[in-house]
């Protein structure tokens, strides 16, 4: 036996990190053909300057393990990394400390790269890109111009979300419960001229595509479906005789038209100014409108929000009943949903019901529930379930399931309105009034107006001569060298757009650029992109469900329509890792691990004490990777002990002679069963089960060694199998022993072990075959075969047929007892 020095990750790990880097093991030539390619991608991080903690590690370690596994399976595997490098924290740091955002970002990137390396994570750094580099963002500008040409980028004045903390506008997707998703500030509504991407033109395609994403978490798909928010209904025209105007409303319940007792345009609706002119209470009405407009969209939409209303005193005509019904203003009616006006049916819509109760408006049921008629005087809530239509002329007695279709046809026939589909999705507001982003390639010319920059002038470079401190508003607007530029159309002095793009533009297509990151002629080579994409496995947090993941699907479709890519869905498989929690000393509660809560664990300390392999094993073992898991220091120590046992086992087996063949022994069979389990479970991302299986296998090998029942050859085989299967999880220790056992190539590039099906005997069962209750034969079958298959096999056996005299037979199979009994069929049997 060789002398054992003990498990020393501090020596092993840097050695292998150097070797992998020096030999460029993760490099993949994306220009070459790539049959069976595997494109693994982590959502590229924002280099924030905060040290990554073990909670972040979960994400990257998981991705690395998956990547290493597919490498060993022999797939050409691409695993690139880059930086979502534009954004506010860098600019805020510049304001605070005077350091230029570019410098600040560069430093942070260098630090993060070191951290990735110390975890043993392999990326193909030849593909590295950072969105703040002109070589990258020029293509944002190029895409923008192409979209503008096709009407997919446009500028308009609109009520928008303004974050006072970030001093910029935000997309709807970035407002969570009325607050900025980044800074948490309460968002205000302001009327501003802004740039938009017309994502609404893709609403239907984005929705349809979700059905084909079989390997995406249901939760993400549901969130996107709800966000797109398709509803089918009708536009209905309500005349306002006093104004000689028609108010068009959108409703998803045209079947309740006879129950509409008032209409409500949004306070922002263009007709409201004219209604105000007719109202006896003009000043109050205008005050009401002003107040509502200061409320955020989220406040107005919230189910629980206070219903604010104002009776305009003006009337409209319900086209079905020809009755006069009042025009009210209500804060919950949004200008950009449907037609920006609704018809209110208090009996059958909860929000309308609450509003009607508050303002004493009539409630008129037009549905009869199975449980009996509704009484407007005593109803406690709107009736929104089934029933049959009543009090609606021709529609009466129609069951709920057919009512909407019937109503829409009548409405169209009689000219009361038209069929209409709407979406909750709004166009994507992309302008930001901040410096650290992609400059929007547009100019304002006194003679020509708004003009796109010429393609050959790209990139429009973000200037460096910027004063960040003591600046009110967008610092870019203060840079004369940037702002002053000739008009691309007439050459006269013009002014550049100083808004920059939302950083979500950067992340909407970066996964395409990774396969051709240095291309200076084109955005990318389409043939290459079509060879390597879609991404086979994408990994990132659920918080991106409706921001990044929706925008990326939108961009992919746009680029497909431009003829640049041959697919619509960028990510075939998506995995959302769960977060890591830990006791927060300040609150005494188990909370998400985060710097602001002060409950993080630094990987630096952990690696210094136990090594990166220990962190990797523990992180993957602590629970199912999609679930929230609590960090435990005891668990870390346990993972470390496991690796020390592996190390000791390897060292003892390394000293044994390797004589003869491994053969068929209990240990060899255990190895094959482990290969099968581990392979299946990695494919399903059940890494915690994988680690458990490897721990069990290590004990089996150690026991065999101690009991001296197995030959040196079988023990060597078992240990090599253990090392190979453990490699994706603990790459350093396993490479080390692979080498010490005499192997010349990296374990990473060695083939993944194959399970020999003939040795997976625990998957076979022995069936005893009886004929008329007497044992006549036995056979081994795969336990996964169904009863019919087993019967058929048995019936074909000579020893069985002999006793059945060749006649028809019926079989009774007792699977738990593994007894199959045949009786000859009597003539009367079916
Ligand atoms: Zn903010
Ligand atoms: Zn001009």
Ligand having the closest approach to the CA of 446: 2
The position carrying tokens 């054992």 is 4
Smallest CA-to-CA distance from 216 within 539, 565, 620, 682 is with: 539
- φ, ψ (nearest 5 deg) of residue 813: -115, 120
Spacing, Cα 272 to ligand 2 middle (Å): 38
- Asked whether 307 and 351 are in contact (CB, 8 A), the reply is yes
Ligand having the closest approach to the CA of 444: 2
- Asked whether 748 and 17 are in contact (CB, 8 A), the reply is no
DSSP 8-state symbol, 815:
T
617-669: per-residue pLDDT in tens?
A: 999 999 999 999 999 999 999 999 999 999 999 999 999 988 777 778 889 99
Bridge partners, residue 39, by sequence: 78
Spacing, Cα 485 to ligand 2 middle (Å): 11
Average pLDDT over residues 373-398: 93
102-138: per-residue pLDDT in tens?
A: 999 999 999 999 999 999 999 999 999 999 999 999 9
The string of DSSP letters for 116-183 reads HHHTT----GGG--BTTSHHHHHHHHHHHHHHHHTTSEEEEEEEEEEETTTTEEE-GGGEETTEETTT
Ligand having the closest approach to the CA of 178: 1
Ligand having the closest approach to the CA of 183: 1
Residues 6+ apart with CB under 8 A from 423: 200, 203, 228, 229, 230, 231
Smallest CA-to-CA distance from 506 within 574, 438, 589, 585 is with: 438
pLDDT at 302 over 90: no
Spacing, Cα 454 to ligand 2 middle (Å): 12
pLDDT at 788 over 80: yes
Q: How far apart are CA 357 and CA 367, in angstroms?
A: 19
pLDDT at 829 over 60: no
Spacing, Cα 157 to ligand 2 middle (Å): 22
The Cα diameter of the chain in Å comes to 104
pLDDT at 275 over 80: yes
Spacing, Cα 486 to ligand 2 middle (Å): 8
- Asked whether 39 and 535 are in contact (CB, 8 A), the reply is yes
Helices (H), 296-344: 297-301
Q: Who surrounds ion ligand 1 at CB < 5 A?
A: 163, 165-166, 180, 182-183, 185
- φ, ψ (nearest 5 deg) of residue 490: -110, -10
531-553: per-residue pLDDT in tens?
A: 999 999 999 988 888 889 999 99
Ligand having the closest approach to the CA of 488: 2
pLDDT at 254 over 50: yes
Spacing, Cα 502 to ligand 2 middle (Å): 27
Q: Which residue has the higher pLDDT, 509 or 295?
A: 509
pLDDT at 806 over 80: no
Question: Burial code of 327-362, b = ≥16 C-beta within 10 A, e = fewer?
Answer: bbbbbbbbbebbbbbbbbbbbbbebbbbbbeebebe
Percent of residues, the chain, with pLDDT higher than 70: 98
The pLDDT value recorded for residue 5 is 59
Ligand having the closest approach to the CA of 494: 2
Average pLDDT over residues 430-448: 95
The pLDDT value recorded for residue 471 is 66
The pLDDT value recorded for residue 2 is 39
pLDDT at 828 over 70: no
pLDDT at 3 over 50: no
Spacing, Cα 488 to ligand 2 middle (Å): 7
384-396: per-residue pLDDT in tens?
A: 988 999 999 999 9
Spacing, Cα 190 to ligand 1 middle (Å): 14
Residues 6+ apart with CB under 8 A from 432: 168, 169, 499, 500, 501, 502, 503
Using CA atoms, how far residue 469 sits from 76, 167, 578, 642, 755, in Å, is 49, 14, 39, 54, 64
Q: Are strands 629-630 and 580-584 parallel, antiparallel or unpaired?
A: parallel
Quick one: 381 exposed, middle or buried, by C-beta within 10 A (0-12, 13-18, 19+)?
Answer: exposed
pLDDT at 415 over 70: yes
Helices (H), 265-318: 272-278, 282-294, 297-301
The mean of the pLDDT values for the chain is 92
Cis peptide before 578 (omega within 30 of 0): no
Spacing, Cα 167 to ligand 1 middle (Å): 7
Spacing, Cα 189 to ligand 1 middle (Å): 13
Helix, strand, coil tally for the chain in percent (to 5): 40, 20, 40
Average pLDDT over residues 688-713: 95
750-777: per-residue pLDDT in tens?
A: 999 999 877 775 667 889 999 988 999 9
Q: How far apart are CA 480 and CA 571, in angstroms?
A: 42
Spacing, Cα 175 to ligand 1 middle (Å): 9
Angle at 444 between CA 441 and CA 446, to 5 degrees: 155
Spacing, Cα 166 to ligand 1 middle (Å): 4
The pLDDT value recorded for residue 4 is 45
Spacing, Cα 432 to ligand 1 middle (Å): 11
Spacing, Cα 134 to ligand 2 middle (Å): 26
Q: How far apart are CA 819 and CA 789, in angstroms?
A: 14
Q: Place 399 in a pLDDT band, splitting at 50, 70 and 90.
A: very high
Spacing, Cα 185 to ligand 1 middle (Å): 5
Least confident of 152-156, 291-295, 484-488, 520-524: 291-295
The pLDDT value recorded for residue 1 is 36
Spacing, Cα 64 to ligand 1 middle (Å): 33
The pLDDT value recorded for residue 648 is 97
């Amino acid at each position: 036996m060789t002398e054992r020095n003990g498990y020393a990750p501090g020596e092993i790990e840097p050695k292998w990190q150097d070797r992998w880097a020096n030999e460029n093991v993760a490099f993949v030539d994306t220009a070459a053909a790539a049959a069976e390619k595997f494109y693994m991608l982590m959502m590229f991080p924002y280099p924030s300057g905060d040290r990554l903690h073990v909670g972040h590690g979960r994400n990257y370690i998981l991705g690395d393990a998956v990547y290493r596994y597919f490498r060993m399976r022999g797939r050409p595997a691409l695993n690139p990394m880059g930086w979502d490098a534009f954004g506010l924290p860098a600019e805020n740091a510049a304001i605070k400390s005077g350091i230029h955002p570019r410098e600040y970002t560069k430093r942070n990137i260098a630090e993060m790269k070191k951290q990735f390396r110390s975890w043993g994570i392999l990326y193909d750094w030849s593909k590295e890109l950072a969105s703040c580099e002109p070589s990258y963002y020029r293509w944002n500008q190029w895409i923008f111009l192409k979209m503008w040409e096709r009407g997919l980028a446009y500028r308009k004045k609109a009520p928008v979300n303004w974050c006072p903390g970030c001093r910029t506008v935000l997309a709807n997707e970035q407002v969570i419960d009325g607050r900025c998703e980044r800074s948490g500030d309460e968002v205000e509504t302001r009327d501003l001229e802004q740039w938009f991407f017309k994502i609404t033109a893709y609403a239907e395609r984005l929705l349809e595509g979700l059905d084909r994403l079989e390997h995406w978490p249901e939760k993400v798909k549901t969130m996107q479906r709800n966000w797109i928010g398709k509803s089918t209904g009708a536009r209905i025209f309500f005349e306002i005789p006093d104004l000689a105007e028609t108010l068009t409303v959108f409703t998803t319940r045209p079947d309740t038209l006879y129950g509409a007792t008032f209409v409500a345009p949004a306070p922002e609706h263009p007709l409201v100014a004219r209604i105000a002119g007719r109202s006896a209470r003009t000043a109050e009405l205008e005050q009401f409108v002003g107040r509502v407009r200061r409320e955020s969209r989220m406040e107005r939409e919230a189910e629980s929000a206070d219903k604010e209303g104002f009776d305009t005193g003006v009337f409209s005509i319900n086209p079905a009943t020809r009755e006069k019904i009042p025009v009210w203003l209500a804060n919950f009616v949004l200008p950009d949903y449907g037609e920006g006006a609704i018809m209110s049916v208090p009996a059958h819509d909860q929000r309308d019901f609450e509003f009607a109760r508050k303002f004493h408006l009539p409630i008129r049921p037009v549905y009869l529930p199975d449980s009996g008629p509704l009484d407007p005087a005593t109803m406690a809530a709107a009736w929104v379930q089934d029933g049959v239509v009543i009090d609606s002329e021709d529609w009466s007695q129609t069951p709920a399931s057919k009512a909407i279709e019937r109503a829409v046809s009548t409405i169209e026939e009689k000219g009361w309105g038209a069929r209409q589909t709407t979406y909750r999705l709004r166009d994507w507001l992309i302008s930001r009034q901040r410096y650290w982003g992609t400059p929007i390639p547009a100019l304002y010319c006194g003679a020509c107006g708004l003009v796109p920059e010429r393609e050959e002038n790209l990139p429009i470079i973000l200037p460096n001569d910027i004063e960040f401190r003591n600046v009110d508003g967008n610092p870019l607007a203060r840079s004369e060298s940037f702002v002053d530029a000739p008009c691309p159309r007439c050459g006269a002095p013009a002014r550049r757009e100083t808004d920059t793009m939302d950083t979500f533009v950067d992340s909407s297509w970066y996964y395409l650029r990774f396969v051709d990151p240095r291309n200076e002629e084109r955005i990318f080579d389409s043939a290459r992109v079509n060879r390597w994409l879609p991404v086979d496995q994408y990994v990132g947090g659920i918080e991106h469900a409706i921001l990044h993941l929706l925008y990326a699907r939108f961009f992919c479709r746009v680029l497909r329509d431009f003829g640049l890519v041959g697919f619509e869905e960028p990510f075939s498989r998506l995995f959302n890792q769960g977060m890591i929690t830990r006791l927060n000393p300040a609150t005494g509660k188990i909370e998400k691990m985060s710097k602001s809560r002060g409950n993080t664990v630094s990987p630096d300390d952990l690696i210094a004490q136990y090594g990166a392999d220990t962190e990797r094993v523990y992180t993957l073992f602590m629970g199912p990777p999609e679930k929230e898991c609590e960090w435990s220091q005891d668990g870390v120590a346990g993972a470390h002990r496991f690796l020390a046992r592996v190390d000791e086992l390897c060292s003892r087996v390394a000293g044994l002679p390797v004589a003869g063949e491994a053969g068929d022994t209990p240990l060899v069979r255990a190895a094959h069963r482990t290969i099968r389990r581990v392979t299946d479970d990695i494919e399903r991302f059940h890494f915690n089960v994988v680690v458990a299986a490897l721990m069990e296998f290590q004990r089996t090998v150690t026991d065999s060694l101690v009991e001296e029942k197995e030959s040196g050859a079988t023990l060597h085989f078992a240990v090599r199998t253990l090392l190979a299967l453990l490699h994706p999880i603990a790459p350093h220790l396993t490479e080390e022993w692979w080498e010490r056992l005499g192997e010349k190539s990296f374990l990473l590039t060695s083939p993944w072990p194959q399970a020999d099906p003939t040795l997976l005997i625990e998957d076979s069962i022995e069936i005893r075959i009886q004929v008329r209750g007497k044992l006549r034969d036995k056979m081994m079958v795969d336990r996964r075969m169904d009863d019919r298959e087993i019967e058929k096999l048995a019936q074909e056996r000579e020893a069985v047929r002999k006793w059945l005299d060749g006649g028809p037979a019926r079989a009774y199979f007792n699977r738990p007892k593994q007894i199959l009994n045949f009786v000859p069929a009597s003539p009367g049997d079916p």
